[in-house]
Amino acid sequence: MKPQATAKTVGDRVRERRRVLGLSQPQLAKKVGGITYQAIQQLEAGGGSRHLVGIARALGVTAEWLQDGVGPAPSKPAAARPGSADKLKVLGMAECGADGWSLWNGDVIDLIERPAGLIGVPNAYAVYVVGASMEPRYHPGEVVHIHPGRPIDVGAYVLVQRKPKAAGEAPLAVIKRLARRSGAKITLEQFNPAKSFDIKAGDIVSIHRVVGSGEA
């Protein structure tokens, strides 16, 4: 018996239509007006929104289509933006818990100018800092540049992805300073408030080095 396809959600339709139009989450939020890209991110992750009519208008569809898929939706793909291949992808994180943990969705939410140190690095990416746990080193809204291939030494600043608590959920992520490392665990340090904590090696999805930061 063929397994039944999972029904699409409002968030699925928003993401699908946004990508057809070639919009990042911040660009869609700007088109809607009065909302942040995190609101779009949360909606696409399964949350609700009081701005569904405005989002539908910005996407060129009806609110009814976003809610239940009823009615035709334009499907003309957008042309690639000039120069987009040279841009650095900004991947999405949204603050969701203590110790600066963020929800990692891996979705491309923006494209920014590629810094000189990451030219020619195909897997490089960036994220926006959420939360204030790393102040005064990194501030909320600042963009940090990630080089997955760079060696990671004790004392380096890193973006760590941790396995979610339940299967099927998105991983969690933090930007911290690597204080100690062994075969069994790593110890991460934050500044605001000052503290450190351990993560078991088996709970780590990835650990990538931060190589720069700045304004988007």
Residue 73 lies in a domain: no
Which is nearest to 128 in space by CA: 214, 42, 30, 207? 214
Q: Are residues 146 and 43 in the same domain?
A: no
Are 145 and 115 in contact by the 8 Å Cβ rule? The answer is yes
pLDDT reported for residue 4: 45
Predicted pLDDT at 77 = 46
Q: Count the domains in the chain.
A: 2
Examine residue 2 and state whether it is found in any structural domain, yes or no: no
Q: Answer yes or no: do 90 and 190 share one domain.
A: yes
Together in a domain, 57 and 91: no
Task: Please report which confidence band the pLDDT of residue 158 belongs to, taking 50, 70 and 90 as the band edges.
Answer: very high
| Residue showing tokens 């996407």 | 59
Instruction: Please report, for the domain that includes residue 156, its CATH number.
Output: 2.10.109.10
Percent pLDDT > 90 in the chain is 36
Confidence of residue 192 (pLDDT cuts 50, 70, 90): very high
Residue 72 has pLDDT above 70, yes or no: no
pTM confidence score: 0.63
Residues making up the chain, counted from first to last: 216
What domain range is 140 assigned to?
Answer: 84-214
Verify that 59 and 94 share a domain, yes or no: no
Looking at the fold, whether 105 and 21 belong to one and the same domain comes out as no
- 88-95 and 143-147 strand pairing: unpaired
What is the predicted pLDDT for the residue at 58? 85
Q: Which CATH number belongs to the domain containing residue 47 in this structure?
A: 1.10.260.40
CA–centroid distance for 198 within its chain: 23
Distance separating alpha carbons of residues 212 and 131, to the nearest angstrom: 18
> What is the phi/psi pair of residue 28, to 5°?
-65, -45
**Shared-domain flag, residues 206 and 122:** yes
Q: Is the pLDDT of residue 81 over 60?
A: no
Distance CA 191, CA 176 (A): 9
